[in-house]
Amino acid sequence: MTTGGIANYSNDTPKEERGSVVSVLLTIVLVLGLLVGLIFFVFGQVVPPDMIGIRRNFISVPGILAPGFQEKGLYPGLHWKIPEVSTIQLIPRDFQFIHLNDAAMVGDYTQKQLEVPTTDGSKVQADITLILRFFERPFSTDEAQPTDLIAAEDGDRKVPFAVRNIVSHGGPNELANTYSLDRETQLKIFTVTAEEKLKESLSNLSTQDYYDPVLREIAALNANRQINEIVNPDGIELWATLIRRYIYSEKRIDDQIFNKNLQEATERLNAAERSLQQAKAETEETAAKWDAEIKDLQVSGEQQRAVIMSEADRFEVEKKSEGDRLVQEAIAKVDKAKNKILTEVDGAEVYVAREMTPLLETLEGGVVTDIDPYNIDEWVKKLVNVSRQAQSAN
């Protein structure tokens, strides 16, 4: 039974029939996969992440295809092509290194050392590394914003830094037409141009100037700028020119300059050591001066402390004596007031007698003469008379 044009097989369908259906489906999937793979192989190409793709058209179709290399490079990914009509070729998009020295660098392009004449008739052999990249598309400064323009400013006697300027440049089309698509050929042609400009710029230095980092780096940057002016329109950018090492072709001159520089360095070292010794002497002198000042302050402080303690003791004695005197005066005033009260106030004799009674009870005969210890009246009279006499005396 069929439903909507699609066969509906029940569990009663024979195994042979089900197996044939599965085989047909697998065959269809395999054929489709092979067809897609064939289309991909014939009409597609992958640009790897470290490459730039350049489309090259072999025929011209007005409004659709322009013959030759296209101006804009293709970014990494899957791109189409048509055999005998269009193809995609690759150039590296990462940094390329060119070493001008006698030691070959694995994976990089190496040429012999650069021999540069100096203004005083000598020759310098320089190890130089050039770092460059290829542009992915043409560019005009008319497309740049004003804030994108960067100007290099070199201060006096300061080592300048390379500054990347926004410039007009070509793309893969100019690179392929001028330098071809072979990497070694590209780097070889570029090296010829770079060596010419490097010799032209570095030959303005004297034998001694090579030891001045400011003059040497300015010459390298000038060469870098001149090289870019030539190769930028062809789709190449020189990122850096690095002078890694330099020796003089004549060993005698190299030894003389080395000895002179060593002498200057020794003189600077000796001057620095003298300055250090002078600083140490000044430090020790200052330390001794302040140690003496500290000792003087300690002695002066002890003396001031002794004087202050002596004055404090004297002040304490004076105040204590004054306090004792005031206490005695107060006691005397109190006694005087008591005596006055006992002599002038009526009934005082009775108060005195009562106060003296406990004392009289403890006395025995023979202690006080002419008075009976138990005769209170006689004691009162006696004490009153003595008080009046004392008051009259006062």
pLDDT, tens digit (0-9, with 9 covering 90-100), for 125-182:
889 999 999 988 888 877 655 444 344 444 455 556 656 677 788 888 888 888 888 8
Question: 223-232 pLDDT, tens per residue?
Answer: 999 999 999 9
- 190 sits in the region (left: phi over 0; alpha: psi -120 to 50; else beta) called alpha
Residue 5: helix, strand or coil by DSSP? coil
> So what's the pLDDT on residue 194?
93
- Cα–Cα distances (Å) from 362 to 108, 225, 365, 367, 386, in that order, read 134, 132, 10, 11, 21
**Residue spans of alpha helices (H) in the chain:** 15-43, 172-179, 183-202, 213-231, 251-344, 348-362, 376-393
Q: For residue 210, what is the DSSP state?
A: G
> So what's the pLDDT on residue 348?
62
> So what's the pLDDT on residue 13?
54
Write phi, then psi, for 183 (nearest 5 degrees): -60, -45
CA–CA dist 113, 125 (Å, integer):
6
User: Where are the domains positioned within the chain?
Assistant: 16-92, 96-249, 345-393
Label residue 75 by pLDDT band (50, 70, 90). confident
Q: Which of 40, 277, 230, 60 is nearest to 132 (CA)?
A: 230
Average pLDDT over residues 297-306: 86
CA–CA dist 309, 317 (Å, integer):
12
Average pLDDT over residues 99-119: 80
Token pair for 317: 């004695």
CA–CA dist 53, 75 (Å, integer):
7
On the question of pLDDT at 44 being above 60, the answer is: yes
Strand ranges, E, within 86-157:
86-92, 96-100, 109-111, 114-117, 123-134
In this prediction the pTM is: 0.54
Q: For tokens 């009870």, what's the residue?
A: 361
CA–CA dist 55, 45 (Å, integer):
11
- Pairwise pLDDT comparison (97 vs 151), residue with the higher score: 97
- Cα–Cα distances (Å) from 72 to 83, 186, 236, in that order, read 20, 19, 14
Write down the mean pLDDT value for the chain: 78
- Pairwise pLDDT comparison (345 vs 194), residue with the higher score: 194
CA–CA dist 361, 118 (Å, integer):
138
On the question of pLDDT at 363 being above 90, the answer is: no
Q: In the chain, what's the furthest Cα-to-Cα distance?
A: 170
Q: Which CATH superfamily is domain 96-249 in?
A: Band 7 domain (3.30.479.30)
**Residue spans of alpha helices (H) in 142-182:** 172-179
> So what's the pLDDT on residue 191?
92
Q: 42: which residues sit within 8 A by CB, 6+ positions away?
A: 83
Most confident of 36-40, 193-197, 263-267: 193-197
